A and B are shown apart, each in its own frame.
Chain A
Amino acid sequence: MEKIKIFRADDHFLYRGFRVINFRPILLISLSFGLGIFLSFFLGFRAFYINAGLFIALAAFFVYKKISGKNAWIILLFSALLCAFYSVGVLAFGARISSFEKDAYLAGEYAVIGEVKEISESADYTIYELGDLVIADGENLYMPASRMQIYVYGSSQLEIGSRCAFDAQIRTNEAYTYGRVNASAIISQIRYSANVDPDKIILSSGGGTDVFESVRKDLRGTLFENMDGENASLAYAMLTGSSGLIEEDVLQNFRYGGIAHIFAVSGLHIGVIYGLLNALCRRIRMHRVIQFAVIFAILFFYCGVCGFSPSSVRALVMCTVLMLSETCGMQYDRLNSVSFAALILLAVDPVYLFSVGFQLSVAAAAGIIVLGGHLSRSLRRIQIANRRMPEKVCSAIGVAFSAQLSTFPILIDCFGYVSGISFILNLLFIPLISAVYSILFVAAVLACIFSFAAAIILFVPEFLLKLAVMPVMMLEFKVWLICGFSFGGCAILWYLAMFFVSDKINLKALPKCIGTGILCAALIALMLLRNIMPACDALITLHSYYGSNAIFLRQGSQNYMICVGEADGKHLERIFLTEGIRALDGVIILAPASEINTSVPLILQYANIQTLYVSDGVGFVNTFHTLQVETVSGFFTFGESSALFIGADAMYLNVEGAEILICADEPQEDVPDVDILLTKELYAFMDGYSAKMQICFEKAENKISLYSMGDLQITLKDGIISLKKSG
């Protein structure tokens, strides 16, 4: 006869009810799979050892439970299942990387034949993705399984399915570059890239049809023919997730305001379309099963038009699970649903774990699910003038705030900043843009079908869109940025604290407060440790990203920058925001005069420059009035350091007695022996040259390079040079 247990509501001193946390198998399985991928990245196949250790610990737990007389088979079996998913995650990541790296590493001039598979446009150039490649130099022939991305400035006649030939300088994408997994290249299987002159492309056969590209092309044509260019680009981005046609300044202002996510087709968009279709199907009393099939097919097609982006697929899976639950009469758990969506995406491509789009999409959805409802209910309890806040207002605040909290660490670490005004803007702007989007979506579909009346159909949505985005277009949001620090591994504590605070953890008030306090204290301590630089004589940080190379020297409260070659604006902006730099006491640009002239205005967009130091041998003509330019020959003082230009492309620096040589090109004069050698790339003079540390910015065999390691930092203190990864 089975024993019946009777629980009082407050039986345990820590929690109410039966358990602290509900058992969610899909969440645990997704986490195991994701952990396997993550640890495979850090440890390779040694990640399997952790698997064995866990299983041993769980087996010991099972033995204990058996001895104590409790049934623990289910625990052991489920733990074995988690370990199995973890192992598959480890294997899957290793397999994915090796598949990507299977094709030969090529660099140099090659003849290429390929078929156009995908096309994406930006304001300045068109990007073609070529497959079925044949690549040849004079001696070898390659037929890689992967794809090539070519950047074409100007117009070309290439269409989907076109077969073309050209000669180009090929670059090979690697799986791990600049300290990050090259997720976008791996997910798209783009192993090679090149810049190609449109006049040099030979078209050998015409195009075929890709239904999704045809729809995108039709939609693009309809919008741009019947709307103002700026509004058309915004509408196209909202409908397809392709924001390449929006002017960079406009798009950047959306980013600064924290509302650029409206251009990533995700839950907001899929939810609106689902709502419209659901209402329509109910109106015509469609059978539940047919309703499910029709709505799923339309949403699936829409995701295809949007290029099956991670955010759209995540939203589609969650929506499908919801529809299935309603159709089959099953209970719907949102946390299991988002976990299931994440598991599907990671199973399709484990590298999604390292994709910023995937991270933001899953984090936002999970954050809203975990914390949104709890926040809303808590806000409802607040009384103002003896009246509770309206439910919809509480819900909107809860959703917006929880999404902000859950995406905060990812945004700071990936982009270097978070908008301080994002919460307010999302609260006010998103409900408005949702309404505009629903009207725009219906109008766009009708305009594509009834193209003769497109101008009339799109008139009202264009007007509403223009009205809705007017504040964003008129106001400057850059002043409201939160930046200057990073989370790194501390993000785990952040998310643990969020989960702990939510109603998913069923603890009584006191233990919950104590637990939250401990987590917050640990988070603050580790963040301070991570972000506050230890005292040192000098700190040198090295930054590089695809040809843009910068050195920052910090001594005391002074900041100096040396650009090795021409700078890139976006890269510099990210550095300045991440490092919290708004002013530079001195700048040197090791480049020809023309590149100095283009780099200085770029730098001035993000930071004030007090003095620009230029070698007298460069032939630089000073046209800048907002900063002091010093043309120097011989040794000069660079902050507290002594510096000397060696020709036009190299310089010597003595920082607190540590001798540093920086080369942007092969030096043409004799160079001294130094402690630290920093070069743009591998040069001939480095054979036989000895320095305590030799660091290259770009790819260099058998040398430390930022291309492989990512950003580095060098600290000088008491006669010791320390080199490690930055951040």
Chain B
Amino acid sequence: MKNKLLVDVLIGIGCLLIVACVALSRAEAPPRTDKLYSDIDITDSYDGEICVWIQGEGVENPGMYRLPYGSTYGDLFLLARAEGSTVYDSSDRISFADAVLIGGEYCIYIVI
């Protein structure tokens, strides 16, 4: 029993040495120690707001407003105390069609 165990151990060590020689014999440089796999998992916040300039005769509080993306013209008119407009439907979402690039940001200009 002990002899069999010894033979098995020697065979195992022999196989290990052979595999190690085959696997490591082609090494031309010290092994790479850091992992090869790379992963990423980052989060950040964004304000999700749009910049709108509103002015005109029917606007009580003209100026720049920041509203959440998806806000309607009605939301804007309420904030700016504007009378409303035949051009802009209050239920429509504020469109970027009137946007211009100012100071690195697209601002929507509305004149009533």
Chain A interface residues (CB < 8 Å from chain B): 25, 29, 33, 40-46, 73-74, 77-78, 81, 84-85, 88-89, 91-99, 101-102, 145, 175-176, 181, 343, 346-348, 350, 634-635, 642, 644, 652, 654, 656-659, 670, 672-673, 675, 692-693, 704, 708-709, 712, 716, 719-725
Contact = CB atoms under 8 A, between A and B. Distances in A.
A99 B28 contact: yes
Nearest to B5: A74
Interface stretch (B19-27, B55-63, B72-80): B19-27
A513 to B, nearest CB: 36
A709 B40 contact: yes
Contacts of B28: 98-99, 102, 145
B42 A693 contact: yes
Contacts of B48: 656-658, 719
Given A46-B35, A719-B48, A712 B97 contact: no
Given A84-B16, A94-B31, A720-B45, A635 B97 contact: yes
Interface in B26-63: 26-50
Contact of B42 (A91, A350, A723): A723
A44 B24 contact: no
A654 B106 CA distance: 10
A659 B96 CA distance: 13
Contact of B20 (A25, A29, A88, A652): A88
A724 B31 contact: no
Contacts of B104: 672-673
Nearest to B15: A29
Contact of B35 (A42, A348, A652): A42
Contacts, number: 165
B98 to A, nearest CB: 8
B27 A99 contact: yes
B72 to A, nearest CB: 14
Contact of B39 (A84, A94, A343, A725): A725
B22 to A, nearest CB: 4
B95 interface: yes
A704 B40 contact: yes
B46 A81 contact: no
A98 B28 CA distance: 8
5 contacts: A81-B12, A95-B29, A659-B46, A722-B43, A725-B41
A96 B105 CA distance: 50
Given A41-B35, A88-B20, A98-B27, A720 B97 contact: no
Contacts of B99: 635, 644
Contacts of A89: 23
Contacts of A346: 23
Contact of B31 (A95, A644, A673): A95
B16 A657 contact: no
A261 B42 CA distance: 41
Given A81-B16, A709-B40, A723-B41, A88 B24 contact: yes
B97 to A, nearest CB: 5
Contacts of B47: 657, 719
B31 A654 contact: no
B69 A656 contact: yes
B64 interface: no
A89 B23 CA distance: 8
Given A88-B20, A347-B23, A656-B69, A721 B45 contact: yes
Contacts of B24: 88, 91-92, 95
Contacts of A81: 12-13, 16
Interface of B: 5, 8-9, 12-13, 15-16, 19-20, 22-24, 26-50, 68-70, 95-97, 99, 101, 104-106
B96 A644 contact: yes
Given A85-B16, A657-B46, A724-B41, A634 B23 contact: no
Nearest to B23: A92
Given A98-B31, A719-B47, A721-B43, A88 B105 contact: no
Nearest to A643: B96
A99 B28 CA distance: 5
Given A81-B16, A99-B26, A102-B28, A723 B43 contact: yes
A44 B33 contact: yes
A675 B37 contact: no
Contacts of A708: 38
Contacts of A43: 35
A553 to B, nearest CB: 15
A176 B23 contact: no
A95 B69 CA distance: 53
A254 B29 CA distance: 42
Contacts of A658: 46, 48
Contacts of B37: 41-42, 176
Contacts of B69: 654, 656-657
B46 A719 contact: yes
B16 A721 contact: no
Nearest to B105: A672
A33 B42 CA distance: 34
A44 B40 contact: no
Contacts of A720: 43-46
Given A74-B5, A81-B16, A692-B44, A44 B35 contact: yes
Q: Which 6 A-B pairs have the closest CB atoms?
A: A657-B48, A657-B69, A94-B31, A92-B23, A95-B27, A44-B35
Contacts of B22: 347-348
B106 A672 contact: yes
A716 B32 CA distance: 37
A185 B23 CA distance: 18
B32 A44 contact: yes
Nearest to A81: B12
Contacts of A42: 35, 37
A720 B44 CA distance: 6
B26 to A, nearest CB: 6
User: Which one of A25, A94, A724 has the highest number of Cβ atoms from chain B below 10 Å of its Cβ?
Assistant: A94
A101 B36 CA distance: 12
Given A709-B38, A721-B43, A88 B16 contact: yes
B52 to A, nearest CB: 13
A652 B105 CA distance: 11
Given A347-B22, A642-B96, A721-B44, A670 B31 contact: no
B74 to A, nearest CB: 18
A88 B50 CA distance: 58
A669 B68 CA distance: 27
Nearest to B49: A657
B9 A77 contact: yes
Given A44-B35, A347-B19, A635 B45 contact: no
Nearest to B27: A95
A657 B67 CA distance: 10
Contact of A656 (B23, B70, B106): B70
Contacts of B27: 95-96, 98-99
A88 B5 CA distance: 23
Given A93-B31, A719-B47, 14 more contacts: A41-B37, A42-B37, A43-B35, A77-B9, A88-B19, A175-B36, A652-B106, A657-B47, A657-B49, A657-B70, A673-B105, A709-B39, A720-B45, A722-B42
Contacts of B105: 672-673
A101 B27 CA distance: 11
Given A98-B32, A652-B106, A78 B40 contact: no
A704 B44 CA distance: 15
Contacts of B44: 675, 692-693, 720-721
A373 B8 CA distance: 30
A92 B23 CA distance: 6
